[in-house]
Chains A and B, each alone.
Chain A
Amino acid sequence: MTSPILEMKNITKEFPGVKALNNVSFKVAQGEIHCLVGENGAGKSTLMKVLSGVYPHGTYTGDILYNGQAQQFRGIADSDKAGLAIIYQELALVPEMSVYENIFLGNEIRNGFLVNWNETIKRASEMLKKVGLTVNPATKVKDLSVGKQQLIEIAKALSRDVKLLILDEPTAALNEVESDNLLALLRGLRDHGVTCILISHKLREVFAIADSVTVLRDGQTIITLDAKKGEVSEAAIIKHMVGREIENIYPRREKIPPGEIVLEVKGWTAFDTLLGRDVLKDVRFNVRKGEIVGFAGLMGSGRTELAHSIFGNPDGYHLKGELAIKGRKAVFGLPEDAIRAGIAYVSEDRKGDGLILSQDVKQNISIANLRELASRGVVNANAEIKIANQYKGSLNIKTPSVEQKVVNLSGGNQQKVSLAKWLFVKPNVLILDEPTRGIDVGAKFEIYTLMTELVKQGMSIMLISSELPEVLGMSDRVYVVAAGRIAGELPISEATQERVMQLATN
């Protein structure tokens, strides 16, 4: 192994209540492509944020050695100066600006107080040639495809004389041809001496390009594999990624024979007008009465989009295909219609689009079903408090009173309020999108127990989760979603973490 360009030693980073990184060590050799893999929440992005100074020196413990020297980055500007560049999944380009303006944004070529635009355009053209992109530098970035925008980001990094390039899931939004082009470019950069750290969920890609692979799991380094020694294989990576026992927090339940089909979707395609591409392609699945159906897949695979598209399509996708509730064709123009048809959707983003944080617990619980509490449009405030108190009791929501504002509750209790709101709607099909994200184990267990209760009473649950053990521990049946398609359907007896990962990453 040549001398390491980067060495991160014993990095520990804590957030309130969570150890995101626990004594992580990570070494990258000069001039290699080093892949960083792990499940969602394993700590990959946090590690890269520590490295690039987004989490400044002092907010973590441990040492960063770069070119053999200890570094104390206080912000992105510091790491930038040292020749580090990080490219995020969400691109940091200004869509309304031209390609050349974007490439030199924040690093303008000056002529005294003025920007030297001629020199800028000339240098930008050179950078574009380096990344193999043939576009007019005066084109606005918003008029380029995502793949080309990605290349602009790399050109921007190259313009700053980057030595270590970090890419966070660069191919997540790219098609196959674009991905292959990008990988070829990275190989070319490596041959010109640029070291590269690549975070990716696509193991096929990792296998194709990596010189070495480091696996993170639960905020810890598990192993570093060397490709030259033949250690890198898909099977080996998956084994290390998921190699944890399923903790016994999933309540046992009696298997009941599945009932009639309550929700069925066929040939379901959704076109996102903002992204300009299909986010769902020819999706087909069904949900039976009294069943928990798991939807596994990686982030960005289209599971939330699927839930939204069924739940009255609030994002305004162009939909094609058929949706049937209890065998009858249904068309929902708004979430309102879906709720009337007996569907409820507990959002993955409680703070973003799940709860109204400025309102209190009782108002959040009642909002989706106020009509039940009202006569002739007038809400019975006392009945509302009573209902809220019932759910406070049955879901064990920890709050001094139902008149407490939701913003003051902990994540787990907020999630319970969100659940209570949708249970009050009394749905037939309950869609849970990441129901346990960011909440502690105790609250998780309570939510699992509640799910078990609900299906016993005849409700059907669609469980969307990025936590594989959760999907496998709770579901009767699992669909694996990848790139907007159903990559496979597995009965729970055949669903192993390895099998699901294989389907999800191909």
Chain B
Amino acid sequence: MFFQNLQKTLRQNIREYGMYIALFVIMLIFTITTEGVFISSRNLSNLLNQTGYIAVLAVGMTLVIVIRHIDLSVGFLAGFLGAIAAVALVQWNLPVFVVIPLVLVLGAIAGLITALPVAQLGIPSFVASLAGWLIYRGLLLLVTEGTGTIIIPDATFNALGNSYIPDLPEMAFLPGVHKITLLLGLIGIVFFILGQVNDRKQKQAYNFEILPMDLFILKLVFVSAIVGAITWVLSGYNGLSWTVVIVLIVLAIYHFITTQTVLGRHIYAVGGNPEAAELSGINVKRIIYVVFGSMGMLSALSGILFTARLQSATTTAGTLFELDAIAAAYVGGVSAAGGVGKVIGSIIGALVMLSLTSGMNLMGIGIAYQYVVRGLVLVAAVIFDVTTRGKGR
């Protein structure tokens, strides 16, 4: 009975669980081939930090692809806005807490500008954002041309890309372990369990279909174990980095918007069938503006994270970010046909792609082979997506 239920649930949600399984398998393989180096605290921590600036782009790109559009301009927009942040800090001497909101607002405006011809004139977003790609690349060069690389001396700003959250003073209990990280992980697990139990109670009150008790417990244990394991590994190095904290906050906000709000529903309705959405009283143009505006803002955030990580703005910042973000979204289960895809999936997708890079680097595999392997994984992910579509529910 238990295994039948498990099998049924797995089969119904194969699309959803597929990429988690893929990530798990990839990590397992690299852990074995690198004799455990891959799963070490230090490597995993680095991996997550490297994923950060692609992950936030992938979150925004998910929504763009869900509404059947694309945004190619995000890479150089991130680079350009990162350079603007550097200029604002170094040349204009603005404080960090002014620069960051300023750059985020500029990003949102840039997104709205990309959306303008798309929404008003029906210009394909591929073309509109390709124009943006060229323009922002030019602007990035313009800003960094005179000075070359702009070094950022501001420690607070650089911390976003390099530093870790503070910890309690060292004590005898659990030496060498980042206790705040551990504590946050624990709190996360408790919140997750309480939320799930509460949700289940409500569903029962309404007499809705719920998972059988044994499966429910299995799910709780499984998720808690994974979160616990990741926290444990991270707390063995420097703990949570600010980058990871920011990505988690972005993820939480976007997950909430897409799954719980009217706006989220409208976005997915526009993606599922734009004509039906319009006839259902949804302002399709508004949705296009909102999604591209959010994409622009997340590009700005990506630019900030990347610039902070390098502690400088360079002339080539942002090159190919857009393609990494698009690949992450597709690997994460976003459907090219529109209307289907989750932001969590895209983050997992970004992790899959970065794990491949990191793992192959550790194994000493040449960059040429790395591109080929990543290409194959991308194709495999989309084939999986297409062939499992329509099965389950």
Please list the residues of chain A having a beta carbon within 8 angstroms of any beta carbon in chain B.
311-312, 314, 334-336, 338-340, 345, 347, 352-360, 363, 366-368, 370-371, 374, 377-379, 381-382, 385-386, 401, 403-405, 407, 421
Contact = CB atoms under 8 A, between A and B. Distances in A.
Contacts of A340: 281
B261 A356 contact: no
Interface of B: 202-203, 206, 208-209, 260-263, 265-266, 268-269, 272-273, 275-283, 337, 339-340, 390, 393
Given A314-B279, A356-B273, A358-B340, 10 more contacts: A340-B281, A353-B278, A355-B276, A356-B276, A357-B273, A358-B272, A359-B268, A403-B209, A404-B393, A407-B390
- With a 10 A CB-CB cut-off, give which of A347, A353, A374, A407 has the most chain B CB atoms: A353
A307 B339 CA distance: 27
8 contacts: A335-B278, A336-B281, A345-B279, A353-B273, A374-B261, A379-B262, A381-B260, A382-B208
Given A370-B265, A371-B262, A378-B260, A334 B272 contact: no
Given A355-B276, A407-B390, A377 B263 contact: yes
Can you list the 8 inter-chain pairs with the closest CB atoms, starting with the nearest?
A353-B275, A356-B272, A336-B281, A368-B280, A339-B281, A356-B273, A370-B262, A358-B272
Contacts of B339: 356, 358-359
A335 B268 contact: no
A501 B208 CA distance: 51
Contact of B393 (A311, A368, A405, A421): A405
A353 B276 contact: yes
A16 B339 CA distance: 29
Nearest to B209: A401
B265 A335 contact: no
A311 B390 CA distance: 33
B273 A335 contact: no
A347 B297 CA distance: 37
Contacts of A356: 269, 272-273, 276-277, 339
- With a 10 A CB-CB cut-off, give which of B209, B262, B279 has the most chain A CB atoms: B279
Contact of B269 (A312, A367, A371, A381): A367
B279 A347 contact: yes
A401 B207 CA distance: 13
Contact of A379 (B209, B260, B269, B279): B260
A335 B281 contact: yes
A378 B261 contact: yes
B78 to A, nearest CB: 29
Given A358-B272, A359-B339, A382-B202, A335 B280 contact: yes
Given A352-B275, A354-B276, A359 B269 contact: yes
A336 B282 contact: yes
Contacts of B281: 312, 334-336, 338-340, 368
B261 A421 contact: no
Contacts of B277: 356, 367
A413 to B, nearest CB: 16
Given A358-B339, A379-B262, A311 B276 contact: no
Contact of B262 (A347, A377, A405): A377
Contacts of B279: 311, 314, 335, 345, 347, 353-354
Nearest to A381: B260
Nearest to A334: B283
A354 B390 CA distance: 19
Contacts of B262: 370-371, 374, 377-379
Nearest to B339: A358
Given A311-B279, A352-B275, A353-B275, A382 B206 contact: yes
Given A357-B273, A360-B393, A367 B340 contact: no
A374 B277 CA distance: 18
Given A377-B263, A378-B261, A385 B206 contact: yes
Nearest to A404: B393
A338 B209 CA distance: 36
Nearest to B268: A359
Contacts of A360: 393
A382 B260 CA distance: 11
Contacts of A374: 261-262
A80 B213 CA distance: 65
B368 to A, nearest CB: 39
A404 B209 CA distance: 13
Contacts of A368: 280-281
Contacts of A336: 281-283
Contacts of A357: 272-273
Contact of B273 (A355, A371, A378, A381): A355
A386 B206 contact: yes
Contact of A403 (B263, B268, B393): B393
B259 to A, nearest CB: 9
Nearest to B285: A334
B291 to A, nearest CB: 16
A404 to B, nearest CB: 6
Nearest to A308: B279
B280 A379 contact: no
- With a 10 A CB-CB cut-off, give which of B209, B275, B283 has the most chain A CB atoms: B275
B203 A367 contact: no
A365 to B, nearest CB: 11
A338 B279 CA distance: 10
A381 to B, nearest CB: 8
A295 B277 CA distance: 25
Contacts of B268: 359
Contacts of A379: 260-262, 265
Contacts of B266: 370
Contacts of A377: 261-263
A354 B281 CA distance: 12
A422 to B, nearest CB: 9
Nearest to B280: A368
Nearest to A384: B265
A209 B263 CA distance: 58
A340 B263 CA distance: 18
Contacts of B283: 334, 336
A172 B229 CA distance: 70
A363 B269 CA distance: 9
Given A335-B281, A382-B206, A363 B265 contact: yes
A314 B278 contact: yes
